[in-house]
Each structure stands twice: as structure tokens, then as C-alpha cells.
Structure 1
Amino acid sequence: MAAKAIGPVRRSFAPWNDPNAKPFIEFRNVTKTFGDFTAVDDLSLGIYEREFFALLGPSGCGKTTLMRMVAGFEEPTRGHVLLDGQDLVGIPPYRRPTNMMFQSYALFPHMSVWENIAFGLKQDGMPKADIVARVDEMLTLVKLEQFAKRKPHQLSGGQRQRVALARSLAKKPKVLLLDEPLGALDKKLREETQFELTDLQMRLGMTFLIVTHDQEEAMTVADRIAVMDRGKIIQIATPAEIYEQPNSRYVADFIGDINLLEGRLSSVGAGGAKLECVGTGATVDVAQDVSARVGDQAWFAIRPEKVTISLTPPADPNVNAVSGEVWDIGYLGDVSIYHVRLATGATVKSTITNTTRLVERPITWEDKVWLSWTRDGGVVLTR
């Protein structure tokens, strides 16, 4: 039986919870070095058929190197990369059932949209009638039928991105590799295209592997995310699990906004723990099983939207509560972020959704306020 998901999921699809399911793409103890630099460090990973999988991390963490090893542009120094049970070592890129869509799109400027999409099919010697049918199918898929005769410079950035996507899909690869595919688009178009990508991937039933440093992009499109750092995978989980249950300070801090407060465990028991928190100057009560001992150093992590801000102490005696002074306020349109300075000198952030228009702010600069959160609002991290 599949594990109960944390947070919303896009679809009923979780082969990683099935002990009998076999990965479609598999990295087995893969290491890749460039001289003295280790880009990928003894990494093992399984990606399943029809999964939209994201490799997420900062520049230089090894995510692009992993993708290039699937494509055949790099070979592992040690270990094995398998696709559908076949070891890919020694197989040239053009013989692999994969295709890559690059950030730059790499469209031929002298060719029309139609010719760009048809190029790879012609190289493979596909019959002319089949090429016509396939290109027309791809143009319909990406909704560019009326732009077939235009050259790339006559298209918008979003349209060029769609041409590159259609060209990548035309050969019907088993795996589509997406290397920062939306990086050249403006924010609004990028957000729209993310949802189009997920819908397209589900319709086609293909395996998509995307490399990105954009956490929002990974959270939007992926079934699972692998957060990477220095050639290693720090955590693999669904977007909701990565956000709500990070396994380390690195993941908590990399994904979204977070309050991280240091302390020491004063109590550890079944279903709960208490943390003497230096940042809050109080004991934080958490509804969580913690694999650590009393006296161990730990950090309390809580998202700003889980922290309630008010002018009066909370009525519920079972919540965690501390007092402070509003130090700064960030207005972002849909939300306002309050930076509250505590008596300890630590700053805790709280987010309020702006549900009404043109209403006088009830809490403002230099107000004395209370911050509160439930026992299950945050998590204790021990690394």
C-alpha cells in the first residue's frame, strides 16, 4: 500500500512506494570527476517510468553532469547508468532513446519552425510522408500550427521554447531531458509554461527529467525532487514532503522561506520533543519523533506562514508563544511579511495573507506583538 502523501499531489502516481517497482533510469554508485574536482560523488538514484523528476540545486552541485551522463555527453568515472535495464556506458548519444532540450533552445535560425522540427527526423531517414504527419502532430501538440512557416527570430521567447520542445519530442524518445528549459522566459510566462509542461508530460505518458536551480519551478512541475549539494543527493521526496518535512537545515533553507532557530533538546519521547531554544528564549514543544538524545544540539525550523502574529497573547494555552516587536514589514501584494525582533535579539518572520483591499494595517512598525504556532507547525532538525 502506498504511503499517505503529505500535502496535495498532482495525480495518483507513486511507483517509488512500491517495493516491486523497478526504476526506469538508474544511477548505481556513480562518480564523475574532472581532474581533481568531483562533480558527482558515489551517487545512487532511481527514476521511474512516466515520472516527472527534478534535479534541484545551486550551480556546481552536479545536477547537469548527471543529466549529461544520461544523454551520453559524459561518461561516469565509476559506476553505472542504466536506462530500462540497459547499461548506457559506451553507447553514443545518437543511439540512446533520449533527447535533450537546452536552455538556449539551439534552433537553426535559417530554417522555419516546420523545418526545425523536421530536422532530426530527416537525419534519421524517416519517409517524407511520415515526417509530414509527425511534424504536423507536434505543431498541434504545442499549439503552433499557424507559425509553421516563420523563422525563429519572428517568434516570441515562449514560442521559440515551444518549437524546441516540439523538436525534442518529434523523435518520440523514451526520456526527455530538460536542461533549465524555461530560464530564458520572463517570470509570468515561465509560470504559465510550467503548467503546460506538466499537462503535456501527463498526456504523453513520457519520462521527463528536468535540471533546474529554480525551487518554484521544481515544486510546480515535478512528481519528486532530488535536492543536491556538492555532488551528493541530500533528500529525495515529493514537493510537499520536501517543503513540510525537510531532512536537514540545508534543504529547509534552500526550499522556500524558513525560520531556523538553534537550541538543545530537553525532552525526547514518543510523538513529541522539547527544545530549549536560544533564539526564542523559551522552550519549544514539537509534535515529532526525534532520533536524538536529550542534550543534543538541534534546530527548530518553521515556515513564516505557520507563525501567527497578533497584538494579544494567544488564548490557547497549548500553542507555543513568544513576544517581540515589529522590526520591519515587507508588502508583496498577496502577502505581507513581518520581521519581529525578540528579546533575545533573534528575528522571526511571520506571513499574513492580504485578503482584503485598502484596509488600514492592524499591526504596524514598532508594535508589541505575540507570535504563536501549533505543536505540529514546525520540525526539529538534527543536521
Structure 2
Amino acid sequence: MKKPLGPVRRAFSPWDNPSEQPFIEFCNVTKRFGRVVAVDDLSLKIYEREFHALLGGSGCGKTTLIRMLAGFEVPSEGQIYLQGQDLSGVPPYKRPMNMMFQSYALFPHMSVTKNIAFGLEMDGLPSREIKDRVYDMLALVRLEGFAKRRPHQLTDGQRQRVALARSLAKRPKVLLLDEPLAALEKKLREETQLELINLQEQLKITFLIVTHDQEEAMTVADRISLMHMGKIMQNATPGEIYEQPNSRFVAEFLGDINVLDGQISKKQDDEVQLYSSVLGDHLDVHYPTPAEVGDHAALAIRPEKMRISLDKPEQTDINAIRGEVWDIAYMGDVSIYHVKVAETETLRAIVANTTRLVQRPITWEDQVWLSWDSDAGVILLA
């Protein structure tokens, strides 16, 4: 198979080392609520100091999975291990992990200091140690000047930091984050994502985040587990899962993508030819696939990997098809061209707006050419 693409965010890939032992392990875990199967025979290994994301739509099982790890739900079948210890029967308060909820769950009548100290006081720590830890947490999340304020006197971003400081004050081995940034506006959410990355690298503890936001998962995670109907569809680094999706579901869930259905008409090693009946043309693809000649398959290409031009490309070793500009979406940094290439087929091409647009060189109803390299797409089994 082709060598995986997309290096991880940092030089950190214990999952590639066969001798490395997982820090957290889900072994054939199933969770049922009556007749509903929320998590279905799921196995997953997460490593120490990893920032792992559980990504998926509503009802895919990601929150149920993290709640079972925290001890708030009990698996119907299977085991969950932490550092080789079976967590069966271990109550939530005895598990060395903390969970940060989407709502933050701050006490409105308590100051920032009291909110952060609450868990430490419940554990009976000496007052001097509590004071030192609270001070350290305030410095960590850069809220030293807000110690006496109450939650209603803080912004959404500041409340999020207080909740994070409270979760980290007990020095857990694992921090569980359940949609922690969902309530933040886009710009603040993006800034906080980077803060989470830096915080996790500084503390060197394992983070497990639940999110429905694919951009968030791609930004913060070392690896992503994309879930659907209680199963993990693909578990890989952000670069691998985006550039080398293992199924049509994964390809269409992560980002925008063009999918052309067809049939394998020729194959030699990793050189594949796909015939598209809709286009009435053969498409050259350089990609490893178990599919054989005659098999139905699909070619998936990201719009940013497609080129658009008024003139037919001179290169003969690329794919090029004729079409008409059907629509244009101006997004500021990029423009998305919707090009009708057949009666029932429209493809999208993304063009970076590198100059200030006064007049578009390509506009609505123009006859254009879409082109792409043979290694720009991936073959998915239909």
C-alpha cells in the first residue's frame, strides 16, 4: 500500500511502534440503551500524551464512549483498560481523570478561585496546597486578574478557561473534553483550539475530545476516530484521514469532495483507469486499491486539487474534462466554482483568491476545462 500521507502535528506517533503499550484501551465495547445500540463492538487504543479526537454527528456514540471511560455509564459488553487496569467496577471518583462538559457546569455563586478549588477541597487537600494549585491553574489559563470574579462577570472564553483550570487542578492522568468549545463564537473557538494544543503539550497528559466539528478535530488532534452508528469508520492522523479516506462515508464527512462513480477498466500495479459512464470518459488514477478490472468503484477528488481554466491544458498526462460554470461561491479567501460537466454531474473546484478581485477571469456560463493530476484523487470501493 501507499505510504501514509500527512505527518502528525508533532514528532509523536507511538501507535506506529509495536512495542508501545496503549494508555487507554477499549476492547470490544458495546453499550445498549434498551434496543438501541449506542456503541457497537468497538475497539480502540489511545496512547499516553496523545491528543485524540472522537469525531462524528449526533447519535454516533462518541459521547457515550467517553462517558463509559469516565465511569458515568457501564458497558453492556467488553472491557475498558487504563494503563493495563480493568476499569470495571471502579467508580468515577476513583478514576484518575476529569471531564469537562460543554456547559462548563460552574457554580454561579462561587468566585473563580472557589470554582477551581472545589474539587481539591472535596479531596481534603491541605489549604496551603490548594492555594498553590489554584494559583498555578490561574497562571496556566492566564486568569490571574480574575480570581475574585463570579461566572456571570466573565466572557464565554473566560468561563471556558475557568472550567478547564478546574478540570486540571486535580492533576488527572486523562482529561476528557465533551464538546468544550461548542458555545464559543468562531474566532474565539479557533484561538482556544490553539491554546488547548499548547496546554496539552505543556502538561504532557492525555486529552480525549468529543466533537462534531471536523475543523476542530483536524486542528487539535494527533489522531481522529471518525464514528458512525456506534462504530469507528477510520482511525488515523488528520493528514491521513483527509488525504486517504478508507470509505465514501469518511471522504464525504471530512471536507468537501467530488465523487465520480465508475468501473475499473484497466489496472497495472498502482496505475488504474476508471471509466465514468456519466462523463463518457476514462480517468487515470495513481492510487493503490484492491479493486480489480470490472469492479465498480468511485474516484474521490478534493476541490482544491482541481484546476480550472478557459483553455484546454496543454499537458497530456493529466485528466481534463469540459464543462460550464453553473455557480460561483465567493468565500473571501477562496472562490468555489460549480462546474456542470454532464447533465447529472456537477464538480467543484476551489481557487485561492490571491489577488483583489476587480473582474473575474472566469464567470458564470463560461465554457471551462477542469483538470487534475492522476495522483490527486483516491479510489473508493463502491
- Matched with 1:375 is 374
Q: Is the 8 A contact 1:269 1:289 kept in 2?
A: no
SS of residue paired to 1:182: coil
Q: Distance in 2 between matches of 1:64 and 1:280?
A: 42
Q: Is the 8 A contact 2:29 2:40 kept in 1?
A: yes
Q: Which amino acid aligns with 1:64?
A: T
Shift of 1:281: 2.6
Could you say what secondary structure the match of 1:347 adopts? strand
- Once residues 4 and 295 of structure 1 are traced to their aligned partners in structure 2, the CA distance between those partners, rounded to angstroms, is 26
Report what 1:72 is aligned to: 71
Q: Which amino acid aligns with 2:220?
A: V
Residue deviations 1:183-206 (CA, integer Å, cap 9, x gap): 000011001100100010001000
Question: Aligned AA for 2:129?
Answer: D
Residue 259 of structure 1 pairs with residue 278 of structure 2: no
Q: Determine the C-alpha separation between the residues in 1 that align with 2:242 and 2:9.
A: 16
The residue identity in structure 1 corresponding to 2:328 is I
What is the DSSP-based 3-state SS (H/G/I as helix, E as strand, rest coil) of the residue aligned with 1:120? helix
The CA deviation at 1:67 is 0.2
Alpha-carbon contact 2:335-2:352 (below 8 Å) kept: yes
- Contact preservation (8 Å) 1:113, 1:147: yes
Q: Distance in 1 between matches of 2:371 and 2:238?
A: 26
Structure 1 Cα separation of the partners of residues 168 and 209 of structure 2? 14
Output the amino acid matched with 2:316: P
The structural deviation recorded for 1:5 is 5.5
Please name the residue that 1:12 is paired with: 11
Partner of residue 284, structure 2: 285
Q: Which amino acid aligns with 1:261?
A: L
Show the counterpart of 2:308.
Answer: 309
- What code does the residue aligned with 1:196 have? E
Aligned partner of residue 74 in structure 2, secondary structure: coil
1:91 and 1:9 map into 2 onto residues whose CA distance is 34
Deviations 1:301-359 (A, max 9, x none): 00000000000011110000100000000000000000000134300000000001133
User: 1:54 is matched with which residue?
Assistant: 53
Shift of 1:360: 1.4
| Native 8 Å contact 1:261 1:278 kept in 2 | no
The separation in 2 between residues aligned to 1:87 and 1:76, in whole angstroms, is 12
The answer to whether the 8 Å contact 1:248/1:381 transfers is: yes
State the identity %. 66
Counterparts in 2 of 1:45-194, with a 5 A limit? 45-194=44-193
Write the distance in 1 (CA, Å) between the matches of 2:379 and 2:234: 16
**CA 1:199–1:24 in 2, change beyond 3 Å: closer, same or farther?**
same
SS in 2 for 1:50: coil
Q: CA 1:341–1:4 in structure 2 vs 1: closer, same or farther (change >3 Å)? A: closer
Q: Which amino acid aligns with 2:158?
A: Q
Moved more, 274-283 or 124-133: 274-283
Cα offsets for 1:132-176 (capped at 9, x unmatched):
000000000000000000000000000000000000000000000
What is the aligned partner in structure 2 of residue 232 from structure 1? 231
Query: Deviations for 1:27-50, whole angstroms, at most 9, x for unmatched residues?
Result: 001111010010111111000000
Kept in 2, the 8 Å contact 1:268–1:290? The answer is no
CA-CA distance at 1:229 after TM superposition: 0.5
Q: Which runs of 4+ in 1 moved over 6 A?
A: none
Contact 2:6 2:237 in 1 (8 A): no
CA displacement, residues 81-134 of structure 1 (integer Å, 9 cap, x when unaligned): 001111011110000001000000000000000000000000000000000000
Paired residues for 1:348-359 under 5 Å: 348-359=347-358
TM-score by length of 2: 0.98
Relative to structure 1, the CA distance from residue 329 to residue 301 in structure 2 (aligned partners, 3 Å threshold; closer, same or farther) is same
Question: Quick check: 2:111–2:148 contact (8 Å CA) kept in 1?
Answer: yes
Q: Distance in 2 between matches of 1:228 and 1:375?
A: 30
Q: CA deviation at 1:288?
A: 1.0
**Is the CA contact (8 Å cut-off) linking 1:102 and 1:179 kept in structure 2?**
yes
Residue of structure 2 equivalent to 1:23: 22
Secondary structure, counterpart of 2:192 in structure 1: helix
Distance 1:85 1:8 in 2: 28
Contact 1:71 1:99 in 2 (8 A): yes
Q: How far apart are 1:265 and its partner, in Å?
A: 0.7
Task: Give the secondary structure class of the aligned counterpart of 1:362.
Answer: coil
- Residues 278, 342 of structure 2: 8 Å contact kept: no
CA distance in 2, matches of 1:254, 1:131: 45
CA RMSD of aligned residues (A): 1.1
Stretches of structure 1 lacking an aligned partner (at least 5 in a row): none
Q: Relative to 1, partners in 2 of residues 1:121 and 1:338: Cα closer, same or farther, differing over 3 Å?
A: same
For 2:222, give the aligned amino acid: D
SS in structure 2 opposite 1:53?
A: strand
What is the DSSP-based 3-state SS (H/G/I as helix, E as strand, rest coil) of the residue aligned with 2:197? helix
Separation of aligned partners in 2, 1:140 and 1:4: 43
Q: Alpha-carbon deviation of 1:290?
A: 1.2
**Does 1:198 find its partner at 2:189?**
no
- How far residue 10 of structure 1 moved from its aligned partner, in angstroms, is 1.7
CA distance in 2, matches of 1:4, 1:270: 15
Amino acid at match of 1:195: L
1:236-247 equivalences under 5 Å are 236-247=235-246
Where 1:242 maps in the other structure, the secondary structure is: helix
SS in 1 for 2:264: strand
